[in-house]
Each structure stands twice: as structure tokens, then as C-alpha cells.
Amino acid sequence: MDPVSTTQKTLSQWGQRVRATWTNWWQVFLLGAQIVVLAFLPSSYQRGAQRAAVLRNLYQATAPLLTWFLVLSALISVVLIRIVVATAYSYGLSQYALEVLVRTLVLELIPLYAAMFVAVRYAMPGAQRIRRLLAEQQRNGFETTDQTLLRTELLPRALATVFSVLLLAAVSCVVALVLTYLTVYGFSPWGFPSYTRSVGSVFTPAVTLIFTLKTLFFSLAVAVVPLAASAQRDAAGRYSRRSDISEFARLFSVVLLIEVLSLVGNYY
């Protein structure tokens, strides 16, 4: 076998993969920009089918998930709170327990697993349903235009996903803060001034801004990345089924990048 031709073939395959990867991520970025622009247009919420689709998806993305997520979040919070408080008391570092809990549980963990919960329970299954719908329409010889697909299917689901992540993260943070107070001070009201002072010392303006932006970008990533993949054709121009594992890995890589950037902003 000619080594020169083998090298050329390898470089050609590598270049094709790089070009395909770049094209896929460019489509994700382009779809995200279109969704953000449409989200600020009043016409996206006009009366009729458009508004009904947005409201229906808002309900489907939040109401069925809220109860189970709060139960799961409360259980995880109680376990972590007990571990951190017991460890801090055993080492004589009880004065740092509240700050550690707020930084690890509220600032880092809750936005992350809220985004992953919505992704697994709503965003990714919804993206697969859209892809099956597009494949069925293609087999029947019916093609939906990009703008129609964006307004009728992708935009309502994206708005619902963003709203769901933000709502679940906010409610879960409140639950975690209440459970933290009850674990440390019980039902006594006398610990409230000390507790609010400790929590307030963590939420500086810079930390609050980074926390808000991180949660917002988490919600945008969960909303856009699966939907962008659902609307992408394969090499044959068809809407073949994509692997759930590969799609989740793709989404998790974006979420992990956002988390790393937020950690750099908070602690470096």
C-alpha cells in the first residue's frame, strides 16, 4: 500500500470530519441566535395557534416535572447538608459550613442537575419526536419550510425548556436554603440574622451575576442543542434516528464548558 495515498486518505477523512463538526456547531449557534431573536418579537406570542403552542409547551415542560424534581432535589439537598454540617462540626469548622453549603449546593449543583433533569425528561425526548415527525413527513413527500418549523415547533419547545430550567432551579434553590436553615438552626427564629448574613456574604454582585448568567446559558444550551440536532439532516439528506447517548454527550460537553467558565469566573 502506498504510504502517500494512505496519508492523503487519512487527511481527507480527518478534514471531512472537522468540516462536518464545524457545520453542526455552526447550525447550533445559528438556531440559538434565531430563537433568541424570535423570543423578543411580539409576533411570536400573537393570539391563535402560536400563543396556544407556546402555552401548551410551557405547561408540558414544567407541571409534570415540578413535583418529582422538588422531591429529588430535597432528598439530595438533605443528604449533602447533613454530610457537610456533620463534617464541619467534627473538624471544628462549623462557622464555614453555611458558606460551603451555599457555594456547592446552590451555586454549583442545583443549576447543573436542573438543566440535566429538564434535558433528559423534556428537551431530548421532544427533539426525538420532532425528528420522527420530520422523517415521516419526508417519507410522505411533504417538506416543512425552515421558518414554519422554527416558529411552530422549535421556538415553543425552546422557550418552554428555558422557562422550565429557570423555574426548577429557582424553586430548588429556595428549598435548599430553607432546608439548610432548618438543619442548622431548627425551627428557632433567632438564627435568621446570622443565617442571612452568611448567605449574603456569598452572594456578592459578581457571584450573583455569574450565577444568573450560568443558569441562563444552561437553559439555552438545553433548549438549543437537542433541537438543532433534531432539525439537521444526515449525509444522505434524511432524518435518520440519532443515538441518544451521543446527543447527550454533545449537550453535556456544552454544559460542562459553561460550568468550567463559571468556576473560573468565581474562583480565579
pLDDT at 212 > cutoff 90: yes
Ranking 84-93, 143-152, 235-244, 257-266 by mean pLDDT, the lowest is: 235-244
Average pLDDT over residues 54-83: 91
Average of per-residue pLDDT values in the chain: 83
Element (H, E) at 97: helix 97-101
More confident position, 1 or 156: 156
Please tell me the distance from the alpha carbon of residue 216 to that of residue 210, in angstroms, as a whole number.
10
pLDDT in tens, 142-156: 766 667 777 888 888
CA distances for 208 relative to 93, 261, 262, angstroms:
25, 15, 11
Query: What distance in Å separates the CA atoms of residue 214 and residue 111, rounded to the nearest whole number?
Result: 8
pLDDT value at 129 more than 80 = yes
- Half-sphere exposure (CA, 13 Å, Cβ side) for 70? 14
pLDDT digits (tens, 9 = 90+) for 15-36: 667 776 777 778 778 878 888 8
pLDDT of residue 241: 66
- Is this prediction's pTM over 0.85? yes
Lowest mean pLDDT among 42-46, 66-70, 122-126, 225-229: 42-46
pLDDT at 71: 92
Q: Are the beta carbons of 185 and 191 closer than 8 angstroms?
A: yes
- The C-alpha cell at 24 is 453542526
